[in-house]
Amino acid sequence: MLEFVISRVLRTGLTVAIIVTAVFFATRFSGNAIDFLAGEGLGAKDRQLLIEYYGLDGSYGEQFARYIASLMNGEFGLSLIERRPVALIFAERVWPSLQLLIGAVLLTLVISVPAGIAAAIYRKSWIGNIIMGGAFFGYAIPNFVLAILMLLVFSFWLRWLPSTGNSTWLHFVMPVTALSTFYIAGMTRFTRNAMLDVLSQEYLRTARAKGLPERVVIFKHALRNANITILSVLGLQIAGLAAAGSVVIETVFSWRGIGELLVSSAIRRDYPVLQFGVLAVALAVIVINLLVDLAYGLADPRVRLGRNA
């Protein structure tokens, strides 16, 4: 088990190093932020002072070395736009994004796991067909299209729900639904497939032959053995929600979270905020995947043995 943990931690460290390097050079290659922010009216002397102040002078290699040194010292710099510490700006956006993420994860679990189990049990009936038809629709429609449609129908047309803000539970209905629909569909399909794989096993036929009630066979034996697959997929779903899903949804609903911050920082070329935000989100995704990977290995010793081989 120790070798399994060390292997995952080393891979995580390598991934973080690649992300730090990629984010830094991607922001630098997109152009000089000072020229974009100040416009053509900035004098040469003032321009040079700003470049030196924000550490944009010197070669890319020198800038990268200073950037790494700053990260090691816990110094993340100041926003080019707001002139405030990057970490403080980011911290203000964490809780709104966490609220959205937690709501989407809970809604995904509450709907997808029971729906997937029902789709597996009633796979040859109209119930299973309706569930999988709904899952296909949810998997096919892009979340930004669903978000815009929900805005048009429930906010602008029917006026049932507010279009922006996050002060009451009504503000969460559309963003959480739009964010989780794709993942509900995916988890439903994966849960159904995992249950079908387990239900076809010989030991479940034996359990039925011994006269065990179908409820016990499904929920005590089949679901317990399908949990490993469901757990691994859930980790990927949460990582997807944290990394990409919330960016689009927060932008559509003007939700002042991390995703909206990243988009606005990219548009305004606020490099320090963008670098810190992308790095923080990437680290969160990596940690989620690492924890799921370790939990997966603990739940099934065959996994860690097979992966270490």
pLDDT, one tens digit per residue, over 168-180 is 888 899 999 999 9
Q: Are 40 and 47 in contact (CB under 8 A)?
A: no
With a cut of 50, say whether residue 131 has pLDDT above it: yes
- For the chain, domain boundaries: 2-72, 86-300
| 20 phi and psi angles, rounded to 5 deg | -60, -45
With a cut of 80, say whether residue 72 has pLDDT above it: yes
- pLDDT tens, residue by residue, 22-50: 888 887 776 666 666 665 556 667 677 77
62 CB burial (10 A radius; 0-12, 13-18, 19+): exposed
CA-closest candidate to residue 116, choices 102, 97, 101, 135: 135
Residues 272-278: what's their mean pLDDT?
Answer: 87
Which DSSP string corresponds to 97-163?
A: HHHHHHHHHHHHHHHHHHHHHHHHHTTTSHHHHHHHHHHHHHHHS-HHHHHHHHIIIIIIIS--S-S
CA distance 178 to 145: 9
Residues 293-304: what's their mean pLDDT?
Answer: 62
CA-closest candidate to residue 178, choices 142, 137, 136: 142
Residues 219-228: what's their mean pLDDT?
Answer: 73
CA-closest candidate to residue 185, choices 143, 247, 229: 143
User: What is the CATH class of 86-300?
Assistant: mainly alpha
What is the percentage of the chain residues whose pLDDT exceeds 90?
A: 16
CA distance 9 to 63: 28
Give the global pTM: 0.78
Give the other-Cβ count within 10 Å of 223's Cβ: 18
Q: How far is CA 46 from CA 38, 39, 43, 65, in A?
A: 10, 12, 5, 25
With a cut of 60, say whether residue 124 has pLDDT above it: yes
| 100 phi and psi angles, rounded to 5 deg | -65, -45
CA distance 168 to 146: 21
**28 or 151: which leads in pLDDT:** 151
Reported confidence tier of residue 305, pLDDT bands at 50, 70, 90: very low
pLDDT of res. 110: 92
